[in-house]
Structure 1
Amino acid sequence: MRAIDAGLLVCHECHLLNPVQTEVAHQHCERCGGLLHARRPNSLARTWALLLTAAILYIPANLLPIMTVNSLGKGQSDTIMSGVIELVHLGMLPIAAVVFIASILVPTFKLVGIALLLYSVQRHQPMSPRQRIYMFRFIEWIGRWSMLDIFVIAILVALVRFGNLASIEPGMGAVAFASVVILTMLAALTFDPRLIWDNTESEHDHE
């Protein structure tokens, strides 16, 4: 049974369960006063908009230099993938694996995973609600680790400042990559997981 079937509405702000008041046009939370909705308004449309924007920015995030290392007057720009290859050539396989997973695999999985959730809900695909909710929770949990590359660049830019001897500057690829991470995190927040159970109900009704 869903909460709405039991006559309850959950507050998005404080998560208090409020009994439905049918006589009120716009119901507010009894504890924090937040506006209550049975489902987040325009959840699918907002999530698709954020996801498509992130997918577009994902292209320059991988093609543009993410940072430039200046040493003795010479500068070398690296993209995410060229940085991973350079770490492999230097024999730093564990670090290369961490960067590859955090900067390539995780963002790709988030983009594909959120798109799959949206498509499965909208098109009533044969996918169990348990699988969908596990995927959604994993996407939410893993999202924060995508910022690992940006944190490393921020630390290096702050620490490595030796004038003409050595310096590190962030590239436009870092801006695009950070935007992708933020947008995918927002997409996961705007997606209403309760739609998964609504979708399941409609599938049962069709059967």
Structure 2
Amino acid sequence: MSGPSHGGAFDAHTARDAGMVGCRQCTAVSPIDAEICERCGALLESRDRTSLQRVWAWWLVGLLFYIPANLYPMLITRTLGRASADTIVGGVIELAHHGAYFVAGIVFFASVIIPVGKFVAIAYLALVVRRAHGIKPKTLLHLYEFVEWIGRWSMIDVFVVAILVALVQFNLLATINPGIAAVSFALSVVFTMLSAMSFDSRRIWDEIETASHE
């Protein structure tokens, strides 16, 4: 199948347009009327009809956990009987105040920029594929792949907390314990990853079929 694109010519062909269906588990291609993949035994569907519902469900849960992750302390430090608690942003400010600008920048990027960017990108993809959009499918596919790739780096803040808790344990002199925000943040990352994984990327290419049939 070939036809005009929204910003230049393209020559694209989808499995569904050719009367085939691709397996999401092993990528084997089968006739569109097949229900089970002959290679791996997975259920075959040309499009996952419940994909967007799961995307929004996981997205919403992830957002709900991300809110307390920023409001409550990430670290609780006790030194000679005195306790102090820092939120994510508070920790970034504290690091910058002590001159650790590079570390502060990494923590801010991994704990604020990446999670917020993922929420925006996933919501954007889920909204765009619902109707004709006029955006190049490859652009949306690259955005989806970037979201999947960068999602794992959101856990940097949790790893830092785990390392500090393991290293800084001097009994009465100083102790560092994770706050409730650490658990909330980790759960938020997991749920947003599940949201991205639930997205059926094949829906991105439906725009090509729609344009070719007009």
Fold equivalence (TM over 0.5) = yes
C-alpha distance in 2 between matches for 1:169 and 1:99:
18
C-alpha distance in 2 between matches for 1:160 and 1:8:
58
More helix by share: 1
For residues 1-207 of structure 1, what are the structure 2 equivalents within 5 Å?
A: 1-20=13-32, 22=33, 27-202=35-210, 205=213
Look up the SS of the partner of 1:33 in the other structure. coil
Q: Counterpart of 1:81 in structure 2: which amino acid?
A: V
C-alpha distance in 2 between matches for 1:126 and 1:52:
27
1:10-42 CA-to-partner distances (Å, cap 9, x unmatched) read: 22222222233x3x5xx1111111111112240
Quote the offset at 1:200 in angstroms.
Answer: 4.1
C-alpha distance in 2 between matches for 1:34 and 1:204:
30
* Alpha carbons 2:17, 2:209 under 8 Å: kept: no
List structure 1 segments (4+ residues) > 4 angstroms apart after TM superposition: none
- Which runs of no fewer than 5 residues in structure 2 stay unpaired? 1-12
Quote the offset at 1:203 in angstroms.
Answer: 5.1
- Which runs of no fewer than 5 residues in structure 1 stay unpaired? none
TM-score by length of 1: 0.91
Look up the SS of the partner of 1:133 in the other structure. helix
C-alpha distance in 2 between matches for 1:203 and 1:54:
35
Q: Which residue of 1 aligns with 2:6?
A: none
1:142-201 CA-to-partner distances (Å, cap 9, x unmatched) read: 000000000111121122222121111111111111111111111110000111111443
Look up the SS of the partner of 1:4 in the other structure. coil
Look up the SS of the partner of 1:70 in the other structure. strand
C-alpha distance in 2 between matches for 1:189 and 1:89:
38
C-alpha distance in 1 between matches for 2:82 and 2:49:
53
TM-score by length of 2: 0.89
Q: In angstroms, what is the RMSD of aligned CA positions?
A: 1.5
